[in-house]
Amino acid sequence: MRNTYLWFIQLVTGILIAVLAGIHTVWMHLDAILGFFGVDVGEVTAWQSMIERSRETMWASLYIALLVVVLYHALNGLRNIILELTPSARIGRIVTWTIAAFGIIVFIWSVYVPISLLTK
C-alpha cells in the first residue's frame, strides 16, 4: 500500500515538474523566441540578472517548489530502479533510507541558498 502512495506522488510530482521546469527551461533557454513575443529576459546567466531574480519572492518560491518536487521525483525514481534489481528486504530498506537521508540533506542545503539570497 505504501508503494502505491509513493507511486501516486510520483505521478503528481511528474505533472508539477512538467509545469515548473517548463517555465524554468523556457525562461532560461528560449530567449530568442521569447524576444519575438516581446518578452525581454536579458542575459539570464549574468550575475546582476541572477541576483535580481533571487531577490524576488515569486522566483524563489518557484525554485523551492521545483526543488521539492524534483528531488522527490528523481530520488524515488532512482529508488524504484534500484529496487527493481530485487535486493533483499534488508538491503531494500538500507537503499530507501540512504536515498531519503541524501534527499533531505540536499534539500536543506539547496533551500538555504535561495532563502539567504532573498535579502542579499
Asked if residue 78 binds other proteins (CB under 8 A), the reply is yes
The span from the CA of 57 to the CA of 61, in Å, is 6
Asked if residue 89 binds other proteins (CB under 8 A), the reply is no
Q: Which of residues 46-65 bind other proteins (CB under 8 A)?
A: 46-47, 50
Residues in the chain, how many?
120
* Options 9, 65, 68, 110; binder of other proteins; rule CB under 8 A: 110
Q: How far is the CB of 111 from other proteins (least distance, A)?
A: 9
Q: What's the grid cell of residue 38?
A: 516581446
| Helices vs. strands in the chain: H and E counts, helices first | 5, 0
Cα angle value 11/75/58 (rounded, 5°): 70
The span from the CA of 117 to the CA of 87, in Å, is 42
Q: What's the grid cell of residue 108?
A: 536543506
* Options 6, 9, 64, 117; binder of other proteins; rule CB under 8 A: 117
Q: What residues contact residue 73 under an 8 Å CB cut-off, 6+ apart?
A: 10, 13, 14, 17
Asked if residue 119 binds other proteins (CB under 8 A), the reply is no
* Options 77, 87, 101, 118; binder of other proteins; rule CB under 8 A: 77
Asked if residue 81 binds other proteins (CB under 8 A), the reply is yes
**Site of interaction with other proteins (CB under 8 A):** 11, 14-15, 17-18, 21-22, 25, 29-33, 45-47, 50, 67, 70, 74, 77-78, 81, 85, 106, 109-110, 113, 116-117
